[in-house]
Amino acid sequence: MKRREDLRNIAIIAHVDHGKTTLVDKLLHQSGTFRANEQVSERAMDSNDLERERGITILAKNTAINFKDKRINIMDTPGHADFGGEVERIMKMVDGVLLVVDAYEGCMPQTRFVLKKALEQKLTPIVVVNKIDRDFARPLEVIDEVIDLFIDLGAEEDQLEFPVVFASALQGTASLDPEKQDEDMTALLDTILETIPAPVDNSEEPLQFQVTMLDYNDYLGRIGIGRVFRGTIKVGQQVSLMKLDGSVKKFRVTKLFGFLGLKRIEIEEAKSGDLIAVSGMEEINVGETVCPEGQEEALPILRIDEPTLKMTFLVNNSPFAGREGKYVTSRKIEERLKSELETDVSLRVDNTDSPDVWTVSGRGELHLSILIENLRREGYELQVSKPEVIVREIEGKKCEPVERVQIDIPEEYTGAIMESLGDRKGEMLNMINNGSGQVRLEFLVPARGLIGYGTEFLTQTRGYGILNHTFDSYKPMAAGNVGGRRQGVLVSMENGKASQYGMMGVEDRGTLFVEPGTEVYEGMIVGEHTRENDITVNIVKVKQMTNMRSANKDQTVTMKKPRVMSLEESLEYLNDDEYCEITPESIRLRKKILDKNERERVTKKNKVK
């Protein structure tokens, strides 16, 4: 079998924050792909603002480097479970993977998830033990963990013969010896060339190109990114697009792009094994195959992960609607959601009976909160409801998504965490105490039990706990209520500005979410109650001015700091009768029914039912 020895296709996979993007960065720099005077930012592959701020990769990206007269195409994949759909499809484009594992943390839930996908595709693995320079690094134990994981996932014998490279992506060094590092990453690049199989060269046969990712460009329209599995594709060629529904569309290839460094380079032709981007097809979708006219033969359709979580998106109708946002109408919001579908294949947007309301389904809380954060940064105003899990019927039974949860905590908090996850119908799988005072727990927990659990977890572990979870499977629904918020809320009964005097009056009732001077409206949630019921409070009340008081009395009073919640925390916090109002400048929690009397009437009616 003829192979293209000048080419290698690899994906970098790992748990979130184990150093994939930094590793790609250093490979780009050291391979001489950038010019000496070229200005390149750190983590160059994380091109989007949110990726940079959070230090996570959201979208899979491809790049390529030249090393020893060979081209290495590298796919940098997300490590977070919510973007697992991206990882799965990328496995189809490559011949091998670099599994990056932290030299201290070892195998984490997402390591398991991404490795399982790679082994299912029969890809050749190289294990990179990264952060070898970390305090308490334990590289040899971590390799044992990785071997156990390979065996546990049913790896074949030849997959178990993987080479191991020890690296510090931050320092830009790698070696085959855990005790000492070489000066650069040549050891890793050499291992890639020696271990990863070169793509098969069948460029004489009829073309087969499959789309695995989408991009969108205002000038070129939709761009399909994927791999040429067979044959050759040229600019100007008339081809057939095999649609997912079985129909065939004809079109002409207007532009082809290859990748080098961070740039797309226009090319005239590509052949089997190349990873390229194709434009000229307006209606192209992930999983579709491009073939020559008259020789239509589709590749197997790619499986795209189904959404597991849904939320209701609404036009903002609060008393402050339209004050801060640029785009507030249903037409603008709908257009923006539809444009998101052009590139995000794991997202679903469904219309409802109302033109101002949509059901948006995604892969998890992070997936949807990233979309919401992007909308508010672009100037949109909207409201969203509490996230709900998507229940499916499997073999006549109602089933819900279950998450595999891994928790690392100091020993003394073990009891409290086991009890709280037990209340949320969690099933304990494993407990490892390595004698260092830290305990690792593994659970299977219904996804609805984890909604809103993050804050409780941090409180219970005083901020020392680390919680990771990834989708495991659909299982029959656990009986009864699972999870949810225990505490009631403090709801404003008036419109106006929060005053220090008004806030001092309700401080002992709970924790406030607003600062003095914040504008509030009737029905807006301004704090958390110490008990389980909601109460209305007046925090805009001002002190009556009389001359019967001491001059310095008011100045000696100190207030507790309010709790300011991020977007994710706000979404997790919501209850069924509440909305989160999101604008470019503010995140506010509110009751669906703002009027107190109307709210109480509806609550009573529901209790009677």
Whole-angstrom Cα distance, residue 519 to residue 505?
Answer: 17
User: Per-residue b/e over 280-313, b at no fewer than 16 CB within 10 Å?
Assistant: bbeebbbbbbbbbeeeeebbeebeebebbbbbbb
For residue 322, say whether it is annotated as part of any ligand binding site. no
Structure tokens at 318: 């609060």
Whole-angstrom Cα distance, residue 107 to residue 102?
Answer: 8
Q: What angle do CA 501, 502, 507 make, to 5 degrees?
A: 95
Whole-angstrom Cα distance, residue 83 to residue 96?
Answer: 20
For residue 317, say whether it is annotated as part of any ligand binding site. no
Q: Which of 12, 15, 55, 13 is nearest to 408 (CA)?
A: 15
Q: Is 385 exposed, middle or buried (0-12, 13-18, 19+ CB in 10 A)?
A: buried
For residue 397, say whether it is annotated as part of any ligand binding site. no
Q: Which helix (H) or strand (E) holds 597?
A: helix 596-608
For residue 202, say whether it is annotated as part of any ligand binding site. no
For residue 17, say whether it is annotated as part of any ligand binding site. yes
Whole-angstrom Cα distance, residue 234 to residue 221?
Answer: 19
**Cα 593 versus chain centre, distance:** 32
Whole-angstrom Cα distance, residue 37 to residue 16?
Answer: 32
Nearest-10 crossing angle of helices 139-152, 109-120 = 50
- DSSP letters, 553-595, are TGGG---PPPPPP-HHHHHHH--TTEEEEE-SS-EEEEESS-S
For residue 18, say whether it is annotated as part of any ligand binding site. yes
For residue 304, say whether it is annotated as part of any ligand binding site. no
For the four alpha carbons of 395, 347, 427 and 531, in that order, the dihedral sign comes to: negative
For the four alpha carbons of 213, 93, 264 and 373, in that order, the dihedral sign comes to: positive
Structure tokens at 210: 């499959």
Whole-angstrom Cα distance, residue 79 to residue 81?
Answer: 7
Is-contact 388 311, C-beta < 8 A?
yes
Whole-angstrom Cα distance, residue 308 to residue 468?
Answer: 17
Q: What is the CA radius of gyration of the chain?
A: 27
Phi and psi, residue 564, nearest 5°: -100, 125
Structure tokens at 581: 């109002």
For residue 132, say whether it is annotated as part of any ligand binding site. yes
Quick one: DSSP state of residue 390? P
Q: Which of 283, 280, 320 is nearest to 588 (CA)?
A: 320
Task: Return binding residues for GTP.
Answer: 17-22, 130-133
Task: Return binding residues.
Answer: 17-22, 130-133
